[in-house]
């Protein structure tokens, strides 16, 4: 399941860092996740995170594809030198915005893949609201798209909260 520009279609673990507050609207809409969230629910949360980003970021993300998979495959883990699939919660794949002019025509769209079981594992370990965790992972991966530092990503996360 993935989100693509507002339509629902069929990171590396970041550790303990301060998470941004949820947008007020999300707190009112948040469901209690007494059962593990589905791929569809995670994709919808990711879509809301992308939609909440301010300009100029939002304008560059219209074609971003968000997919939700259960776990990263062995080839992906090996390419990132990650030993365990629960250590990768999200992955940005594409051409960073600063390199777009040099990208060849016909390049695949930029995409963020969220790994459901790794996110669920971190949710259980960290104990923070699920929406906050997904929001943080999405913002972190968007940061890679823009070539941002961790400090810049934190600022972006706060502005989208």
Domain ranges across the chain: 2-11+23-28+35-99+106-159
Contact by Cβ (8 Å): 131, 30 = yes
pTM exceeds 0.75: no
Q: What is the pLDDT of residues 123-133, one digit of tens each?
A: 999 888 999 99
Which tokens hold the place of 125?
A: 């370990």
Which parts of the chain register pLDDT below 50?
1-28
Tell me how far apart the alpha carbons of residues 64 and 112 are, in angstroms, rounded to a whole number: 7
What CATH number belongs to 2-11+23-28+35-99+106-159?
3.30.2010.20
Note the pLDDT of residue 73: 96
pLDDT of 30 reads 55
pLDDT of residue 105: 65
pLDDT at position 89: 96
What is the model's pLDDT at position 77? 95
């Amino acid at each position: 399941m993935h989100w693509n520009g507002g339509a629902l279609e069929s990171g590396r673990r970041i550790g303990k860092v301060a998470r941004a507050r949820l947008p007020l609207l999300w707190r009112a809409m948040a469901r209690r996740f007494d059962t593990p969230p589905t791929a569809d629910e995670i994709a919808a949360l990711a879509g809301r995170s992308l939609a909440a980003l301010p300009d100029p970021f939002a304008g560059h993300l219209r074609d971003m594809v968000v997919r939700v998979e259960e776990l990263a495959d062995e080839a992906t883990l090996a390419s990132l030198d990650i030993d365990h699939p629960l250590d990768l919660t999200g992955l940005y794949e594409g051409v960073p915005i600063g390199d777009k002019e040099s990208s060849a025509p016909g390049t695949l769209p930029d995409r963020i893949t969220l790994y459901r079981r790794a996110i669920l594992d971190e949710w259980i370990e960290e104990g923070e609201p699920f929406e906050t965790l997904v929001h943080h992972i999405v913002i972190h991966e968007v940061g890679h798209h823009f070539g941002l530092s961790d400090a810049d990503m934190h600022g972006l996360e706060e502005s989208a909260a």
